[in-house]
Chains A and B, each alone.
Chain A
Amino acid sequence: MPERLLEVKNLTTHFVTDEGVVRAVDGIDFHIDTGETLGVVGESGCGKSVTALSIMRLIPQPPGRIVRGQIHYQGRNLLDLTPSQMRKIRGKEISMIFQEPMTSLNPVFTVGEQIAEALRLHEGLGRRDAMDKAVEMLRLVHIPNAERRVREYPHQLSGGMRQRVMIAMALSCSPNLLIADEPTTALDVTIQAQILELLNELKAKLGMAVMLITHDMGVIAETAQRVVVMYAAQVVEEASVEDLFKEPLHPYTQGLLRSIPRIDLAATRRQRLQAIPGTVPTLRGDVKAGCRFAPRCELARPAHFENDPVLKEVRPGHKVACFLY
């Protein structure tokens, strides 16, 4: 079997707070193959962003700590690397773009300088060459008047442009894996469409894999090839995008799909949305054993509250963590 680009095993990340330990990611497994787009979907607090930050080793320690697990990138466990070894990976092999482009870009440096930074650090380019390449990157992400805009500051650009700048920064060293954490959530829908189109184009051009984190099932359907569904710090389902939408197995996934208003299905107009009752559990302090979704699941039986379900393959390529299977 060819070596997987990224293999995450039993990743567990905790945060120590005054009110107890928050178990933000609690033993998750998944992988990403070269060139594929993996969608990671879940609602707030499910652990998807912390997963991404853990892979990039950007979790502040303290109060965070990667307690257990392995993150294998091209066979090497990133958790074994020294800080300077990890710096060679970050921005060069694995890059990340964030949700809020205004707060993720440095306001006191021009966009050109921010793109050039990675190039000078990782590729050893001199100032002039790095700036030239920065202009090229701005053109790659379809920013008009690139030579002029390269000297501008983030506040002079619109939200969509800033996101493009962030993409330019992330891709400047041609990484093998791009982690995109809710890259379009803060953007208008027409700009979102442009950015997703851009990501697809660049992915094809650079042969890069993408880990796309979002809560938007529509974005997942249109961009991902495989999907991982997270709930309460765990992976509850994993499948190809076609299988996930055609036959969602986990009650949470089914609930999510039923609760979204559908613009494309005329028949469901004016029919009540089927909301999932209750709220996501807080994962602070001692977490009781048992399926974490059981309190909100209409198919739950008493035994489901006693033991933890395990993620296992129940159809070819389709895994689910649920006692119903």
Chain B
Amino acid sequence: MAEALLQVKNLRKYFPIRGGLLSREIGRVHAVDDVSFAIQRGETLGLVGESGCGKSTTGRTILRLIEPTSGEVWFEDKNVTALDKRALRQTRKEMQIIFQDPYASLNPRMTVRSIIGEALIIHKLVRGRRQRDDRVVQLLETVGLSPDHLRRYPHEFSGGQRQRIGIARALAVNPKLIIADEPVSALDVSIQAQIINLLEDLQQQFGLTYLFIAHDLSVVEHISTRVAVMYLGKIVEIAPAKELYTSPKHPYTEALLSAVPIPDPATKRKRILLEGDVPSPINPPSGCRFHTRCPIRVPSCSENEQVLKEVSPGHWVACQVRS
């Protein structure tokens, strides 16, 4: 395989649940449970799934914003999971993140200048205030904001504008990889389109690679080269975007796609309705995690853990019935 920019190998993150008098660990949330994938330079890998599937935790664990329980993350030729603090800080220039909540992800007590300029100073990418301001203005213009916004505080901006500030902040250090964690979910439809277009333009302009995490399948399909579907901490399917949407193989992916409302009243579709709710990641079902809600399950599905198998070039599915 040509060298991938990012390689995730058997990543696991379990959160302990403590209880009892001595706060012993009485259980664990299997948030990310043996996830592996690679992202090639310049591509956009979409990571989709519903709440609690582990996609955001995956993103944060890759950057070591949350420390993984086990597994490895390789960025270019470096093992990110093994880096010491100083080396990690250096590597963080190359891997940045944009968060979902434009209201919570900006420090309300910092001006735009400080928010975007902070990393420039920490990483010594500029010398002195003048240089920093010049660079911040350049970044503001790149994301479609104006230089007068330097002195303002986050609360003076709309959601879409704040998201642009977050994007400028991520771009400040010239990263190669940007993890976008639900970057448009909190925005109105017409602003979503503006931000999606901006992200695509920036990708072209700066040769960026994206890990695009979202639950909105239409948005992910639009922007991604390849898409991975997660369910209860595991990847159940991964394929080129167009192929995932035209010929999904995993029954969960099929159900997910059929649930997306289509803005066309003339479309008549057969909707696959899954029974019940997503099981708890504290006590995931045995064998295939999806078997409790799966319309095509067979008895052995509750015994055998599913492994991703390649069913057509680049298209991997974790389902014994379908592979």
B-to-A contact residues, CB < 8 Å: 50-51, 158, 160, 188-194, 196-197, 200, 215, 217-219, 221-223, 241-242, 245-246, 255-267, 271, 273-274, 276-278
| Chain A residues whose CB sits within 8 angstroms of the CB of B260 once the complex forms | 189, 218, 263
Contact of A255 among B190, B241, B259, B271 (CB under 8 A): B190
Question: CB within 8 Å of B: which of A263-310?
Answer: 263-264, 266, 269-270, 272-277, 279-280
Q: Is A129 an interface residue (CB 8 A)?
A: no
Whether the Cβ atoms of A263 and B262 lie closer than 8 Å is yes
Q: Size of chain A's interface in residues, with CB distance under 8 A? A: 47
Whether the Cβ atoms of A263 and B217 lie closer than 8 Å is yes
Contact of A160 among B196, B200, B277 (CB under 8 A): B277
Question: CB within 8 Å of B: which of A130-179?
Answer: 144, 158-161
Q: Determine the main DSSP class of B at the interface with A.
A: helix
The list of the 5 closest CB pairs from A to B, nearest first, reads A218-B261, A259-B193, A275-B193, A261-B222, A188-B50
A48-56, A70-78, A219-227 - the one binding chain B: A219-227
Contact of A43 among B189, B223, B261 (CB under 8 A): B189
Whether the Cβ atoms of A269 and B50 lie closer than 8 Å is no
| Chain B residues whose CB sits within 8 angstroms of the CB of A218 once the complex forms | 218, 260-263
Whether the Cβ atoms of B264 and A221 lie closer than 8 Å is yes
Once the chains are docked, how many angstroms separate the CA of A276 from the CA of B195? 11
| Chain A residues whose CB sits within 8 angstroms of the CB of B200 once the complex forms | 272
Whether the Cβ atoms of A259 and B221 lie closer than 8 Å is no
Q: Which residue of A is nearest B160, CB measured? A: A279
Once the chains are docked, how many angstroms separate the CA of A279 from the CA of B274? 38
Q: Which residue of B is nearest A194, CB measured? A: B273
Q: Which residue of A is nearest B192, CB measured? A: A259
Q: Give, as a whole number of angstroms, the nearest-CB distance from B83 to chain A.
A: 35
Whether the Cβ atoms of A245 and B264 lie closer than 8 Å is yes
The winner among B191, B217, B246, B263 for most chain A CB atoms within 10 A is B263
Once the chains are docked, how many angstroms separate the CA of A273 from the CA of B192? 10
Whether the Cβ atoms of A220 and B50 lie closer than 8 Å is no
| Chain B residues whose CB sits within 8 angstroms of the CB of A269 once the complex forms | 221-222, 241-242
Whether the Cβ atoms of A264 and B190 lie closer than 8 Å is no
Number of A-B residue pairs with CB-CB distance less than 8 Å in the complex they form: 129
Whether the Cβ atoms of A275 and B197 lie closer than 8 Å is yes
Whether the Cβ atoms of A263 and B257 lie closer than 8 Å is yes
CB within 8 Å for A261 and B221 given contacts A192-B259, A193-B271: yes
Whether the Cβ atoms of B271 and A189 lie closer than 8 Å is no
Q: Which residue of B is nearest A44, CB measured? A: B188
**Between-chain CB contacts (< 8 Å), 16 pairs:** A43-B189, A159-B51, A189-B217, A189-B256, A190-B273, A192-B259, A222-B262, A242-B266, A245-B266, A261-B196, A261-B219, A261-B221, A266-B242, A269-B221, A273-B193, A279-B158
Q: Give, as a whole number of angstroms, the nearest-CB distance from A217 to chain B.
A: 4
| Chain A residues whose CB sits within 8 angstroms of the CB of B191 once the complex forms | 275, 279
Whether the Cβ atoms of B267 and A256 lie closer than 8 Å is no
Contact of A263 among B188, B221, B223, B255 (CB under 8 A): B221
Once the chains are docked, how many angstroms separate the CA of A219 from the CA of B223? 22
Q: Give, as a whole number of angstroms, the nearest-CB distance from A111 to chain B.
A: 15
Once the chains are docked, how many angstroms separate the CA of A245 from the CA of B261? 14
Whether the Cβ atoms of B263 and A260 lie closer than 8 Å is yes
Q: Give, as a whole number of angstroms, the nearest-CB distance from B186 to chain A.
A: 10
Once the chains are docked, how many angstroms separate the CA of A270 from the CA of B241? 11
Whether the Cβ atoms of A193 and B259 lie closer than 8 Å is yes
Q: Is A57 an interface residue (CB 8 A)?
A: no
The winner among B196, B219, B265 for most chain A CB atoms within 10 A is B265
Q: Is A262 an interface residue (CB 8 A)?
A: yes
Once the chains are docked, how many angstroms separate the CA of A216 from the CA of B51? 19
| Chain A residues whose CB sits within 8 angstroms of the CB of B223 once the complex forms | 261
Whether the Cβ atoms of B265 and A161 lie closer than 8 Å is no
Whether the Cβ atoms of B190 and A43 lie closer than 8 Å is yes
Q: Which residue of A is nearest B196, CB measured? A: A273
Once the chains are docked, how many angstroms separate the CA of A242 from the CA of B264? 8
Whether the Cβ atoms of B246 and A190 lie closer than 8 Å is no
Q: Which residue of B is nearest A216, CB measured? A: B261
